[in-house]
Structure 1
Amino acid sequence: MANAQLKKEIIAYSKDIGIDKIGFATADPFITLKGRLLEQQTHGFESGFEKGTIEERTEPERLLPEAKTIISIALAYPSKMKHAPRSKMGERRGLFCRASWGEDYHNILREKLSLLESFIMEKVPSAICLSMVDTGELSDRAVAERAGIGWSGKNCAIITPEFGSYVYLGEMITTLNLPVDNPIEDQCGSCNKCVDACPTGALVQGGQLDSNKCIAFLTQTKDLLPEQYRKKIGNRLYGCDTCQVVCPENKGKDFHHHPEMEPDPEVVKPLLIPLLSISNREFKEKFGKISGSWRGKKPIQRNAIIALAHFKEKAAIPYLYELVKKDPRPVIRGTAAWAISEIGDKELVGQLGEALEKEQDPKAYDEMKKALNKLETVT
């Protein structure tokens, strides 16, 4: 079969199975990306979640010998939630970012890529394919940029003309030699809204991210959150959408092509106080299907505590003090003590003092000591 004809058939089939956009790129090494990654490494901007060596992340042939083409796919996800519950005093709510609405996108894209692989193998049984979504070695963004899916925005997201940056990305390396597409010219121009709006200054400059300052990264960590970032988190439980929301290219973009991506409002905008005592089983039952649950309940609970402090929710005080007294995890005890001092309930000075005397963990002790000192100055 002629390669140009095969490409047409792959594109047609991709539409049949609900892939919103598809592009084709060479499997040549990503030289520019390699330079950027080395610079990220030098500056200490890596998150630690990256997979593989820089060579594996920039040289497709290391992952699949005789690789010729990389097929990039994009699926558009919703940006607006229908019937979103209101957060109000006594019933404060947290929020999962849009990329964690609906079923885990890794599973959705892997299924699409698996179908695409099967289609290709039926046409060319000798072909070899290797697919990955987000957690693979290759940079989804670099592949999508080369394949003409969109341009790489200053917010470090791929921006498509059709769907803005509200797209999930995945790719397939293959030994097939298919005609490739042309990259889309960068259209950010002089716009700097995402860089200016970043709550923590994580967007060092257009297209360069200090992952360690990024709220999307910080909400996924498991340790005590550095104090300078706690008030920046707001009510975010997982991820951050600020740099996407302010992007002019995303104005009016809201697509509901895939029912499995539709958010359950009670899951992605949950009540905060019940999260403080949720069991592992309850957490898995309620949140297990969304991508934001992958780090387990501890980061979500810590972020829920921070969100309650953000709201200065006095109704949470008894629950927070229970955590200070009884929770086996120092991170949760320490964060709860900090939250109590932020809400400012001076009546708990005595109880916090008792908890402080019993505390054995140095970090939790330090948090309780600072919380106690702050409460003692409350007038």
Structure 2
Amino acid sequence: MDTEILKKDIIAYSKSIGIDKIGFAAPTAFEEMKVRLYRQQELQYQSGFEEKDIEKRTEPALIFNRPKSIISIALAYPSKMKTLVVSKKGERRGIFCRASWGTDYHAVLRDRLKKLEEYIASKVPGARFKSMVDTGELVDRAVAERAGIGWSGKNCSIITPEFGSYVYLGEMITNIPFEPDTPMEDQCGSCNKCVDVCPTGALVQGGQLDAQKCIAFLTQTKGFLADEYREKLGNRIYGCDTCQTVCPENKGKDFHFHTEMEPDPEIAKPLLRPLLTISNREFKERFGHVSGSWRGKKPIQRNAIIALAHYKDDTAIEELILVMRDDPRPVLRGTAAWALGKIGGSDAQDALLRAADREQDEEVLEEIRKGLEFFNADSETNIRI
């Protein structure tokens, strides 16, 4: 088997099935990444969504018998919507990050990896593979960096010269010994824009992220959002793109190569008020195909409530009162109470006072107190509950 010819054939085939960039890496341990991950663990900077076994995340031989190569792939995704929808009073909208536009990228990349596996298997009887996307053991970014897909930016994303950081990554471990490609040297230089503008200071320094502070992580949590982050959320209901949109390497980068990734504006930037009462079935039918739905509707609804407070949307007061009064989930009742205080108005204040007499949950009562404090700040008369 001439692996050099095979490699060229694979590269050519990959382009024919919609893989925008492909690279080959040695399957040796990712020692530098291992050190960084253990340090992240010590600092409690991990999100908790990752594979917990750091050895498995950095040692291909622990998850694949006698690996010889790792193939890394990248698919470019859009950074702009072709059709715009406008957020306006009475019709305020939230936004999903770009990585949740179109069909769930896990499904798209798995499709490409499966086709690539089938092609290689047709060429090499006895070839073995283990493919993964995002939720697998290996760190996608470390593999892509070693395979020459791009360099690891200060924003903790892989940045490619062609597509910026607007790329999805996947990889395939195999028992075929391909010649590795050359890793790309860092090109961020002295630029520190992503670190400087991170809304919560989650980018501690270039290349180091405290995931516990990252808005992308916070939008996926299911409990009460800490007060210090509510003001930072804005109208984001899933994810955050700030560290990408400010990156000079992303200026002018907008690629529409894959129909599956094209955003439906009404899904990517949905009206907020209807989200408050959406049923499980409606949520699944409408949003089930996007990656941002994986945690269910509760975090999205909580974030939508915070977004309405951000807009001070008084047209949503009636719906927020109903959520505070009737929703069985304390997190949504409490967040609605806080939002009513932020928005203000006599109807909101009266509803909060009534809720204070009726509510039994201590966490919700605390949120009602916070809501009423907003009125106290604007009044000489203190309201106590």
Q: 1:17 matched to which residue of 2?
A: 17
* Distance in 1 (alpha carbons) for counterparts of 2:131 and 2:207: 26
SS of the residue corresponding to residue 46 of structure 1 reads coil
The aligned runs of 1:250-329 (5 Å cut-off) are 250-329=250-329
Query: Which region of structure 1 is more displaced relative to structure 2, 213-222 or 369-378?
Result: 369-378
Q: Aligned to 1:289, what secondary structure does the other structure show?
A: coil
Matches of 1:196 and 1:138, distance apart in 2: 29
Residue in 2 aligned with 1:104? Answer: 104
Partners of 2:150 and 2:95 in 1: CA distance? 28
Counterpart in the other structure of 1:160? 160
Q: Which runs of 5+ in 1 are unaligned?
A: none
The structural deviation recorded for 1:221 is 0.5
Letter in 1 for 2:23: G
Q: Indicate whether 1:221 and 2:221 are aligned.
A: yes
Cα shift at 1:370:
1.8
Match of 1:183 in 2: 183
Match of 2:172 in 1: 172
**Retained in 2: the 8 A contact 1:22–1:73?**
yes
Give 2:32's aligned residue: 32
Give the whole-Å Cα distance in 2 for the aligned partners of 1:318 and 1:141. Answer: 46
List aligned pairs for 1:1-379, cutoff 5 A.
1-379=1-379
Q: Measure how far apart 1:202 and its partner are.
A: 0.3
State the distance in 1 between where 2:68 and 2:357 align.
64
Aligned length: 379
Write the distance in 2 (CA, Å) between the matches of 1:318 and 1:49. Answer: 36
Q: CA RMSD in A?
A: 0.9
Q: TM-score, normalised by structure 1?
A: 0.99
Following the alignment from structure 1 to structure 2, what is the Cα–Cα distance between the partners of residues 290 and 359?
35
Alpha carbons 1:346, 1:376 under 8 Å: kept: no
C-alpha separation in 2, matches of 1:216 and 1:327: 26
Q: Secondary structure at the match of 2:131?
A: strand
The percentage of counterpart residues that share the same residue type is 66
Q: What letter is aligned with 1:161?
A: P
The alpha-carbon deviation at position 136 of structure 1 amounts to: 0.5
Structure 2: unaligned runs, 5 residues or longer: 380-385
Deviations 1:249-303 (A, max 9, x none): 0000000000110000000111000111111111111111110111000000000
What amino acid does structure 2 have at the position aligned with 1:135?
T
The Cα of 1:354 is off from its aligned counterpart by 2.0
Q: Partners in 2 of 1:75 and 1:325 — Cα distance?
A: 45
Q: Is the 8 A contact 1:56 1:138 kept in 2?
A: yes
| CA contact 2:317–2:348 (8 Å) conserved in 1 | no
What is the letter of the counterpart of residue 301 of structure 2? Answer: Q
The separation in 2 between residues aligned to 1:347 and 1:80, in whole angstroms, is: 39
Runs of 4+ in 1 over 6 A off after TM superposition: none
Distance 1:135 1:196 in 2: 29
String of CA shifts for 1:209-254, please: whole Å, max 9, x gaps. 0000000000000000000000100000100000000000000000
Tell me if structure 1 keeps the 8 A contact 2:90–2:313: yes
TM-score by length of 2: 0.97
Inter-partner Cα distance in structure 2 for 1:208 and 1:346: 46
Residues 341, 349 of structure 2: 8 Å contact kept? no
1:237 is paired with a residue of what secondary structure?
A: strand
Pairwise CA distance, 1:18? 0.7
Q: Secondary structure at the match of 2:168?
A: strand
- What is the rounded CA distance, in whole Å, between the counterparts of 1:377 and 1:164 in structure 2? 46
